[in-house]
Amino acid sequence: MISLLQEAATHAVEHSEDAAAAAVAHGDAADAAHAAQSTGLPQLDLSTFANQIFWLVLCLLVLYWVLAKVALPRIAAVISDRQGAVTGDLMAAEEFKQKAKEAEAAYDKALADARSEAQKIVAANRAEIQKELDQAIAHADAEIAARTAESEKRINEIRESAATNAREVARDVTAELVRTFGGNVDDAAVDRAVDNRMKGAMQ
């Protein structure tokens, strides 16, 4: 039946300079086929609708199944894996940054400790050296004082002995002079005279 209509339609197309006449000549059936196959859009040919809809629904069901069961879960898994990895890496980076900060703080603290320790040691050394220095100075002072005292004593001794010697010499010389001049030696007078003279010199 349909092939007959198609034939009629083809025939109508060939005589389409006068489509109306063709339609009249071939009757209503030819006109309908003509409308569907030639002048009308194939989209409006209702005879193919059942076919199209059947295959379309089948295709959509298959496509939906393929996407929902295979394609979309796989892509979702890949994307979420990647996001997980990125988030994990970021967290690890954050952790490392934290660790680096802690290490820096520890380093700073160690540095500060070492510095204060060094200062302590320096201060202790300085105090010790100062102490030794003070001791040495005191010792030296004491020695100097002792030697000075000794020297003074010796100088005094020398002075004393010099004075004594000078008096004896003067007395002897005086007694001898008196004797030489024929005088009578009075020891007490000689001593007095010598002492009086010495007073001015041996002061």
Partner 1 sequence: MATEAGDGGLHFDSVLSQFEVKRLFGTGPVEWYTPTNVTLWLFLIIVATAALLIWGTRGRSMVPNRSQSMAELTYGMVHKMVEDISGKDGLKYFPYIMTLFMFVLFANFLGLLPKAFTVTSHIAVTGVLAFSVFFTVTAIGFIKHGAHFLDLFWVRSAPLAIRPVLAVIEVISYFVRPVSHSIRLAGNMIAGHAVIKVFAAFAGIAAVAPVSILAVVGMYAFEALVAFIQAYVFAILTCVYLKDALHPSH
**Which stretches of the chain bind partner 1, using CB under 8 A?**
1-3, 13, 16, 19, 37-39, 41-45, 47-60, 62-64, 66-68, 70-72, 74-79, 81-82, 85
16, burial (CB in 10 Å: exposed 0-12, middle 13-18, buried 19+): middle
Euclidean distance between CA atoms 180 and 185, whole angstroms: 10
Between residues 56 and 142, which has the closer beta carbon with respect to partner 1?
Answer: 56
In whole angstroms, the minimum distance from the beta carbon of 102 to partner 1 comes to 31
Strand ranges inside 74-191, DSSP E: none
In whole angstroms, the minimum distance from the beta carbon of 24 to partner 1 comes to 17
Euclidean distance between CA atoms 44 and 31, whole angstroms: 15
Between residues 24 and 59, which has the closer beta carbon with respect to partner 1?
Answer: 59
In whole angstroms, the minimum distance from the beta carbon of 12 to partner 1 comes to 10
Euclidean distance between CA atoms 131 and 121, whole angstroms: 15
Between residues 63 and 155, which has the closer beta carbon with respect to partner 1?
Answer: 63
Between residues 68 and 142, which has the closer beta carbon with respect to partner 1?
Answer: 68
Euclidean distance between CA atoms 64 and 13, whole angstroms: 42
